[in-house]
Structure 1
Amino acid sequence: MGHSLETAGWTRRAGLAALTRALGAEDIRWVGGAVRDGLLGIEVHDVDCATRLLPETVIERCAQAGIRTVPTGIEHGTVAALVEGGPVEVTTLRHDVSTDGRRATIRFASDWREDAARRDFTINALYAHPETLEIADYFGGLDDLAARRVRFIGDPRARIAEDHLRILRYYRFQARFGAELDADAEKACADMAATLKGLSRERIANELLALLALADPHPTIARMHARGVLGVILPEACAKHVEGLARLVAAERAQGFAPEPLRRLAALLPPSRDVAETVAARLRLSKAQRARLVTAAERRDEDAAAMHALAYRAGTDCAIDRLLLAGADARPLAGWAPPVFPLKGGEIIAQGVTAGPQVAKILRAVERRWIAEGFPDDARLSQILAEEIG
């Protein structure tokens, strides 16, 4: 790995020291993504804390130390401590009593290893002492992290049966951190793919978009398609569309555009408004997400020469989506803001046109010519207006 937590900047946040003083160094451990990413030298934003203290004790001790808390997931033992540097989610050690693949009934625990055993992957079950930063590794997570291997804790099928979303989490983590494939994990995910049908659409959408937001999700998406996993959550995607994703990722890189998950989702779908509407509804996408996906789906052989007109009509981001999906050069649109059409109906009426439908008709005609001519200055706009009125 080449890094240690001593060099991780997040460990020196003043808010974490204050939280440690409030809760006691022996009763808390930093855990999960912050520890994993810190060891890999990746920038850390969110810090999670595991504790042997019950939630009410966490709230009480934080209050005594002047730290405000929010019971963000109190039914599962999670309290957000609002400290300097960003909130920290403090979760009481847990043990799963029963699970149904979607949710778990838990009881609180006091043993660090018992809490680690209920987590999904070995690289997510690393606990760091808040003062010494010594790592507690119960299931070989450090070796897996060094090998860039994403491995379930224990039997993959048992872990997936506890929470079916772990299938998609496995692929996302493998795409982000993995180099060496775990054969048992790969087979378990493929064999149990059908269980994804029982999950909420929102949870599936969140995981799928998070995967598509990674630097290069194509190899993982291709593996999901080949193993029948992608077809369960996105049956519209065929082999041709998966290869289209590869071309899009390459175009983004070549042209210097950041990954955009909705653009990449569009690449996995046929260029059909109806299909995009169906997928957006099924995944419970927001209104804004749906609009962007549908606009991307309306792509065709985009004319690069008319790209600014396209950006004016659809918005710059949507125009970039469509150009990249069509294999065109979108770089001239980077940072470009569409101008505001300066003509108002009152100016047409001032030229002697009677208020009514004719004003709107002239306004549309002038705007079409203004766009076609590349948004000329006010002098030319006045000429176009005079011609349309005449």
Structure 2
Amino acid sequence: MAEVLPAAHWTQREDLARLIDALGNGPDGAAQARWVGGAVRDSLLGVEPYDIDAATPLKPRDVMARLERAGIRTIPTGIDHGTVTALLPDGKVELTTLRRDVSTDGRRATVEYASEWRDDAARRDFTINALYVDPRTLEIFDYFGGLDDLAARRVRFIGDARQRIREDHLRILRYYRFQARFGSGLDPEAEEACAELAATLKGLSRERVAMELLNLLGLPDPTDTLLRMYQREVLGVVLPEVTQQAIENLPGLIAAEKAAGIAPLAIRRMEALLPPLPTVAEGVAARLRLSRAQRERLSCVAARQCDDGADPHALAYRCGLDCAVDRLLLSGSDPAPIMGWAIPELPLKGGEIVRRGVKAGPDVARILRTVEARWIAEGFPGRERVLDLLESELPA
């Protein structure tokens, strides 16, 4: 008897049914599309899927034409690779034409359209990502034992693990990310292949590496996976600055996040793994081509060695709320006092000091800095107290 996907909220969406009807039926009377990938896998695990993908034997132009005739707007998001995005009332759906690989070089693949579902499944990375579902009957099509692997929480490459990694080197990092998210039983072949071919990660674009690393670090608890990556000399290829001790300290940060009710954050986990040295943080950020905001946050938190039990409010005022929260969490301090705190602005301007008879220039800046330091030390009192502080700093 065929396996059937348990009914989930998304499988009963009216807009998805309308999408399937618009694509029509094939010669065998079956729908011209099947749900595939993350939505299927997550639903089998009882997890709400993040997005919905479909595969179809129809060519992209045909998909767009059929959907537009049904009044469904489409975007050719990756039409050169066979992908069209349908914009539906309850969320977008990516539809990709069945494909098979013609050639690969470890970074990109040349593909051609296929007509067989199995051919499309064979080019996917892991068995648990190659599960297809008929949108009407919810029958599951499993070509490579993905259901058994999912039940065992095992992440296994489709076919020969080394060959799949040679096709796309990023699959090494994807393997570890999926293992951290879903796995409990290790696949020896996958582990050996990732370790053996780890050096191939050097040929990937920095942006792709950073994306996968951050996706891994943002999971609830990637500690065990990071330790395996370190011990198998995989992590050192992309983050040589990380030590085993830093990884072993990561559970302390995770516990602090949970205690404070703060969601996991990938860049904060990276901050915890790197030495507290701004020059190191800046080098890593540049190498991985992180965003400007990520770079600034990484560098700010790397300066945490100078905190020495600083007042949380003073820290937030000087560094910004996000950086201060991270530094407090990493130092084992409670960030609760500043959660939701609106950082005040010093109620004093340089012009007021000039009007008190101080010549514009270095003296004004010096007095302003001194008053600000005393204002911070006193816990950010109101303007009346600030004016008193100013009076005590003005020349006689």
TM-score past 0.5 threshold: yes
Corresponding letter in the other structure for 1:369 = R
Matches within 5 A, 1:356-375: 356-375=361-380
Matched, 1:13 2:18: no
Distance 1:268 1:228 in 2: 16
Distance 1:45 1:12 in 2: 16
C-alpha displacement at 1:301, in angstroms? 5.9
- Residue in structure 1 matching 2:118, options 113, 123, 128: 113
Distance 1:262 1:106 in 2: 34
Q: Secondary structure at the match of 1:97?
A: strand
Whether the 8 Å CA contact 2:152–2:184 is kept in 1: the answer is yes
Residue 166 of structure 1 aligns with which residue? 171
Distance 1:6 1:217 in 2: 29
Matches within 5 A, 1:217-256: 217-256=222-261
Residue 298 of structure 1 aligns with which residue? 303
Q: Please report the TM-score for the alignment, with normalisation by the length of structure 2.
A: 0.94
Q: Secondary structure at the match of 1:7?
A: coil
Matched, 1:264 2:259: no
Corresponding letter in the other structure for 2:16 = L
Residue 292 of structure 2 aligns with which residue? 287
* Deviations, residues 115-166 of structure 1 (Å, cap 9, x unaligned): 0011001110111111111111111111111111111111111111110000
- Residue in structure 2 matching 1:28, options 20, 29, 33: 33
Where structure 1 has 5 or more consecutive residues not aligned to the other structure, the ranges are none
Whether the 8 Å CA contact 2:6–2:43 is kept in 1: the answer is no
* Deviations, residues 290-339 of structure 1 (Å, cap 9, x unaligned): 00001111111634451211111111110111122222222322222311
Matched, 1:274 2:274: no
C-alpha displacement at 1:5, in angstroms? 4.0
Residue 181 of structure 1 aligns with which residue? 186
Matched, 1:150 2:150: no
- Residues 301 and 365 (structure 1), Cα distance of their counterparts in 2 relative to 1, 3 Å cut: closer
- Residue in structure 2 matching 1:87, options 71, 92, 97: 92
Corresponding letter in the other structure for 1:19 = L
C-alpha displacement at 1:345, in angstroms? 2.4
* Deviations, residues 58-87 of structure 1 (Å, cap 9, x unaligned): 111111111111111111101111111111
Whether the 8 Å CA contact 1:14–1:85 is kept in 2: the answer is no
Aligned-residue identity in percent: 65
Distance 2:212 2:316 in 1: 30
Distance 2:133 2:390 in 1: 70
Distance 2:142 2:77 in 1: 27
Matched, 1:333 2:338: yes
Residue 190 of structure 1 aligns with which residue? 195
Matches within 5 A, 1:55-66: 55-66=60-71
Q: Secondary structure at the match of 1:27?
A: coil
Whether the 8 Å CA contact 2:6–2:44 is kept in 1: the answer is no
Residue 358 of structure 2 aligns with which residue? 353
C-alpha displacement at 1:347, in angstroms? 2.7
Where structure 2 has 5 or more consecutive residues not aligned to the other structure, the ranges are 26-30
- Residue in structure 1 matching 2:385, options 359, 380, 384: 380
Q: Secondary structure at the match of 2:132?
A: strand
Distance 2:299 2:348 in 1: 29
Q: Secondary structure at the match of 2:345?
A: coil
Matched, 1:45 2:45: no
Whether the 8 Å CA contact 1:14–1:84 is kept in 2: the answer is no
Distance 1:135 1:276 in 2: 46
Distance 1:244 1:175 in 2: 17
- Residue in structure 2 matching 1:136, options 131, 141, 145: 141
RMSD: 1.6
Matched, 1:199 2:211: no
Matched, 1:126 2:127: no
Q: Please report the TM-score for the alignment, with normalisation by the length of structure 1.
A: 0.96
Distance 1:82 1:287 in 2: 31
Distance 1:111 1:340 in 2: 64
Corresponding letter in the other structure for 2:14 = A
Distance 2:67 2:345 in 1: 52
Whether the 8 Å CA contact 1:301–1:326 is kept in 2: the answer is no
Q: Secondary structure at the match of 2:62?
A: helix
C-alpha displacement at 1:12, in angstroms? 2.3
- Residues 63 and 349 (structure 1), Cα distance of their counterparts in 2 relative to 1, 3 Å cut: same
Most deviating of 245-254 and 313-322: 245-254
